[in-house]
C-alpha cells in the first residue's frame, strides 16, 4: 500500500510546474520594481502578469500581480503626488493585467519559444492600450464623446503605448530568460519535473 501511495505522489508531483519558488520570487521582484523610478508605462507589471500566468500555479498567477498593484499604487501615489492611488480607472487597469495573466496561461503555459513569447507580449501590450484608452475616452471629460474624440484619445496615448511595448518586451525577456537560465543551472534531480 505504501508503494502505491508513493507512486501516486510521485506522478502527482510530476504534473506540477517545475521551480515554483523561483517563478514566484521572480514575479514578485518584477512587480516590486514598479517602485523604482521609470518612464511612464515602462513598468514590469504587464510582463510580471504574463510571466505569472505562464509559470505560476492557480491563484498565485492571478493574485501576485494584483497584490503588487494594490500595495504599490498608494506608495507610488505618495511618491509622485500626481494621481490618486485608486480610482474607477484602477479597476480597468487591474482587469487588463488579469487579461495578461490569461494570455500567459493560455498561450505560454507549455512554451518557451522566443517568437511565441514575443507575440503574446505584443498582444498583452495592445489589449492594455486599446482597453485603457477606450475607458479614458469614455469615462473622462478630456475628449469629446465622438468617433473623432476616440481617435484623438488613441493618438494621444501613442507615446505611452510605445513605452508599454518596450517595457513589456524588456521585462518579459528578463523574466523568461532568468527562469530558463535558473532551470538549466539546477540539476534535474534537485527539482520537480514539469508536465
pLDDT for position 134: 97
pLDDT for position 188: 54
Full pLDDT tens readout for the chain, 195 residues:
554 444 334 333 334 444 578 888 888 888 888 888 888 899 999 999 999 999 998 888 899 888 888 988 888 888 877 677 788 888 999 999 999 999 999 999 989 899 999 999 999 999 999 999 999 999 888 899 999 999 999 999 999 999 999 999 999 999 999 999 988 886 554 554 343
> What DSSP line would sit under 121-182, residue for residue?
HHHHHHHHHHHHHHHHHHHSTTS-SSHHHHHHHHHHTHHHHHHHHHHHHHHHHHHHHHHHHH
Please answer whether residues 61 and 105 qualify as being in contact, where contact means their C-beta atoms are separated by less than 8 angstroms.
yes
pLDDT for position 10: 35
For the domain spanning 17-187, the CATH number is 1.10.1760
Among residues 189, 161, 179, which one has the least CA distance to residue 39?
A: 161
Among residues 64, 77, 88, 172, which one has the least CA distance to residue 125?
A: 172
pLDDT for position 189: 43
The C-alpha atoms of residue 179 and residue 107 are separated, in whole angstroms, by 17
The C-alpha atoms of residue 186 and residue 167 are separated, in whole angstroms, by 29
Amino acid at each position: 500500500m505504501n508503494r502505491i501511495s508513493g507512486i501516486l505522489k510521485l506522478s502527482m508531483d510530476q504534473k506540477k510546474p517545475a521551480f515554483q519558488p523561483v517563478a514566484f520570487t521572480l514575479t514578485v521582484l518584477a512587480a516590486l520594481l514598479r517602485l523604482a523610478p521609470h518612464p511612464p508605462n515602462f513598468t514590469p507589471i504587464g510582463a510580471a502578469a504574463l510571466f505569472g500566468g505562464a509559470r505560476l500555479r492557480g491563484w498565485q498567477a492571478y493574485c501576485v500581480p494584483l497584490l503588487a498593484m494594490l500595495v504599490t499604487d498608494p506608495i507610488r501615489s505618495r511618491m509622485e503626488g500626481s494621481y490618486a492611488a485608486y480610482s474607477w480607472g484602477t479597476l480597468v487597469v487591474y482587469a487588463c493585467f488579469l487579461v495578461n495573466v490569461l494570455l500567459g496561461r493560455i498561450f505560454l503555459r507549455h512554451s518557451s519559444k522566443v517568437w511565441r513569447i514575443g507575440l503574446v507580449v505584443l498582444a498583452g501590450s495592445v489589449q492594455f492600450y486599446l482597453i485603457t484608452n477606450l475607458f479614458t475616452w469614455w469615462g473622462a471629460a478630456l475628449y469629446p464623446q465622438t468617433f473623432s474624440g476616440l481617435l484623438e484619445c488613441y493618438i494621444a496615448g501613442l507615446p505611452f503605448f510605445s513605452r508599454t511595448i518596450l517595457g513589456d518586451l524588456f521585462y518579459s525577456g528578463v523574466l523568461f530568460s532568468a527562469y530558463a537560465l535558473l532551470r538549466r543551472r539546477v540539476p534535474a534531480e534537485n527539482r520537480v519535473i514539469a508536465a
